[in-house]
Amino acid sequence: MTRAIKLPGLFLLIFLYANCNMPGQQSIPTAYFFTQNNVSDYRISPDGVFVSYVKRKNEVTNIFVKNIVSGYSAQITYLKIGNIKSYYWANDNTIFYISSKPDGESLYYVNTKGRGNYKTLNANSISFIDSKLWYNKFILLSLKKHGEQTKQAYSVNIATWKPTLIAGYKGSYKQFLNANNADIIKAIKKCLNPSYFDIIDNDAKNNFYILKTYSDRQKDAFYLYNKTKNTCDLLSDNEAITPSNLCETKPVQFSKTSGKAVYGFLTLPKSGTINLPTVIIPYANSNSKNNLGFVPEVQFLAHKGYAVLQIKSTLNVGYSNEAKKNDLKKWVFAMQADIIVATKWLIKKQIANPSNIGIYGTGFGGFIALNAAYQKPQIFKCAAAYSGINNLFTYLKEHNTASIYQYLLYNTKKKSLNEASFIRNFSPVFNTDKINIPLFIAQGGKDNLISVNETNDFVKILRKRNIKIKYLVKDEEGHTFKNKENIIELYNNLDNFFKQNLN
């Protein structure tokens, strides 16, 4: 089980800021922020003999294994198209993995000595519920079968590979730290002294551990910790520039009129600390208050001279009992209120220039950003959305999505007849007449979550009204851009958009 560790002393006072980007500092290419490591997703075999990892080549990923003692490595999967979505060791010699392609996903198993890759089942979407082989014959999967709209939990007998529905399974995705690891954690901290680290995996005898270290200014680095020798060997890192040349992110907290705390993360450029052009980034997943990991778009925008505030909704949208009572309406209202409180706080502290504040989000964050364009135009000078939802009717009809939104959408669907006016009022596609600030919209032509045709129509209507809008659509991309050139083009366009509109 992976566990994020927060080391003491990092949750510092909100009024102490570090500046990023002094005059004369080197310019960092866009590619640095968004280029992923070609090697990632390390695991270790139960017997502690092999380290496995996923390696990218020509936009395709495959699994490799490496003998810890001899250093000999070998490729064991041979995808020609698509990517390894996830995998784990079933036993000392077998790996289960999920491959993702444009037409769906497939579950395979492979012998680590390279004796064949065997496909077991296909579905529209497949996820491992946990990383165990139960009773040496069952695995647990979350499946959305072809033609179905809902993800459900199944047990799969590896003798027949027939999935059996687990009725009433809700799932528990909480990460926890086993108390038995306390001594290991102390030893790791002495060995590496990282800002933050995750225990990714360990062998059956708890002799070897795969670690991931990270911080607000450091991309992921992976290590192999040898408990017997008390050594940490670097497996791979992703550094092309020293962390001191990037921007420090610090947690902030402010209160709503109700007294409820709003949490966020503030990143300031080195160009100054007051009266700054500012970008607000709303995040939907508020389950973690202490994640100070590397966020590429935050570092990118801060390097360009913007103050960046990431806001986390005060309404929990995880799997808690509170989330089960909520619906999308409550979440939207809560997120909007949080954004207003946060923005006023920035202005009061003289951090943000009140005339130069923009908002940017992806997915549901993009939905909130597009909403702000007509719900709060007096606050935001411009808005940008990457794969942002623009029609809630379509989204609710076609997707009973899993992950953090399943209860929000499920509860909204139950009340949809009574909530039609809300859905219309908060669907940007039905409110084009109210939008008068500049927009930036980016989307993939093969996005299976957001209809590109509806986005096209949305943009056409706005252009007929002579609204200033930059529209970037990549026909070959899905909900998240994968091609490196497209990713760089996306963020260069975003930078130019904010340069033109946040003076």
What is the residue-wise DSSP string for 86-135?
A: EEEESSSSEEEEEEEETTEEEEEEEETTS--EEEEEEESEEEES-S--BT
Are residue 88 and residue 41 in the same domain, yes or no? yes
Distance CA 95, CA 85 (A): 13
Is this prediction's pTM over 0.95? no
Q: Per the domain annotation, does 170 fall within a domain?
A: no
Is it the case that residue 1 has pLDDT exceeding 60? no
Is it the case that residue 13 has pLDDT exceeding 60? no
For the chain, percent of residues with pLDDT exceeding 90: 41
Give the pLDDT mean for 240-252: 84
More confident residue, 65 or 14: 65
pLDDT tens by residue, 122-162: 888 898 888 878 878 888 888 888 777 677 888 888 888 88
Are residue 495 and residue 383 in the same domain, yes or no? yes
| Structural domain count, the chain | 3
Q: Provide φ and ψ at 275, rounded to 5°.
A: 55, 45
What are the angstrom distances between the C-alpha of 327 and each of 260, 310, 372, 390, 449? 19, 23, 19, 18, 19
Give the pLDDT mean for 371-394: 91
Are residue 303 and residue 326 in the same domain, yes or no? yes
pLDDT tens by residue, 336-345: 888 999 999 9
Q: Which residues contact 330 (CB under 8 A, 6 or more apart)?
A: 315
Q: Per the domain annotation, does 26 fall within a domain?
A: no
Please report how many Cα atoms fall inside a 13 Å half-sphere around the Cα of residue 403, on the Cβ side.
Answer: 10
Are residue 352 and residue 425 in the same domain, yes or no? yes
Q: Per the domain annotation, does 230 fall within a domain?
A: yes
Are residue 213 and residue 259 in the same domain, yes or no? no
229-233, 326-330, 350-354: range with lowest mean pLDDT: 326-330
pLDDT tens by residue, 183-211: 777 888 888 777 788 888 999 999 999 99
Q: Which residues contact 189 (CB under 8 A, 6 or more apart)?
A: 7
Structural domain for 125, as ranges = 37-165
Is it the case that residue 172 has pLDDT exceeding 80? no
State the pairing for strand pair 276-283/352-362: parallel
CB 315 within 8 A of CB 286: yes
Distance CA 325, CA 48 (A): 45
Distance CA 460, CA 473 (A): 13
Q: What pLDDT is attached to residue 398?
A: 62
Sole residue written with tokens 């851009």? 481
Mean pLDDT, the chain, integer: 81
Residue 463 binned pLDDT confidence (cut-offs 50, 70, 90): very high
Are residue 127 and residue 199 in the same domain, yes or no? no
Tokens of 94: 């077998």
Q: Per the domain annotation, does 32 fall within a domain?
A: no
Is it the case that residue 118 has pLDDT exceeding 70? yes
The CA-based angle 50-52-58, given to 5 degrees, is 145
CATH number, residue 414:
3.40.50.1820
Q: Which residue, among 73, 78, 111, has the nearest Cα to 95 in the 3D structure?
A: 111
CA 36 to chain centre: 14
